[in-house]
A and B are shown apart, each in its own frame.
Chain A
Amino acid sequence: AQSVTQLGSHVSVSEGALVLLRCNYSSSVPPYLFWYVQYPNQGLQLLLKYTSAATLVKGINGFEAEFKKSETSFHLTKPSAHMSDAAEYFCAVGYSGGGADGLTFGKGTHLIIQP
């Protein structure tokens, strides 16, 4: 069985500050990990994915995430927050088939950007 825990249902940062959204997973097989972003009343957009290649993954909009097996973590970061980053962020895990199976999602973190 696999699960995803996102620490902090709401995270507030100032514009220009570092963004850190936490994700921890549990998986009985090597995980495939994803971060998605959801803007209000829209679908999910893929930010980045880890599929057992490089442990530091770069995504769109300046986001990146580092896979740490020893900590079972896949935290999302961005050096400098922008107002347009305000959205809901979801971490998800898949089986070794990558996205071939249904993904297991965390409950999401709502990112608030303070001007």
Chain B
Amino acid sequence: NAGVMQNPRHLVRRRGQEARLRCSPMKGHSHVYWYRQLPEEGLKFMVYLQKENIIDESGMPKERFSAEFPKEGPSILRIQQVVRGDSAAYFCASRGPTDTQYFGPGTRLTVL
């Protein structure tokens, strides 16, 4: 059973560009979470989605960030007009019917 997949693993963008990060949950998992990890920091919760619904976006910055989890296809975290402060590792986790979140390998975003 394949684990949580994220792509790309590394992404470089210039200031003002858009970044799109993709997350494919484990087979059978319908819950997806996005976290951000800044250098020397723990993970910070951003958003929790189920298929076609945002359940909790309390950790999402109010501007430039959006997330979706369509009926078909991966979950997408989108960052518009990136700034240097957006440079971080972004992790996706998925969950099935149990209480355990399984994490992907992360996407490391570098903003030049």
Q: A and B: partners?
A: yes
- By a beta-carbon cutoff of 8 Å, the part of chain A in contact with chain B is 4, 9, 32, 36, 41-46, 49, 51, 90, 92, 94, 97-108
CB-defined A-B contacts under 8 Å, sample of 6: A36-B103, A43-B91, A99-B98, A102-B48, A103-B33, A105-B42
Most buried by B among A42, A45, A97, A99: A99
Residues of A contacting B: mostly = mixed
- By a beta-carbon cutoff of 8 Å, the part of chain B in contact with chain A is 4, 6, 31, 33, 35, 40-48, 56, 58-59, 91, 93, 95, 98-106, 108
Most buried by B among A41, A90, A97: A41
A103→B100 CA distance, assembly (Å):
10
Given A43-B4, A43-B104: A98 in contact with B99 (beta carbons within 8 A): yes
| Nearest Cβ on chain A to B104's Cβ, whole angstroms | 5
Considering the complex, give the chain A residue whose CB is closest to the CB of B44.
A105
In the complex, the answer to whether A46 meets B48 with C-beta atoms within 8 Å is no
Chain A residues in 8 Å Cβ range of B59? 102
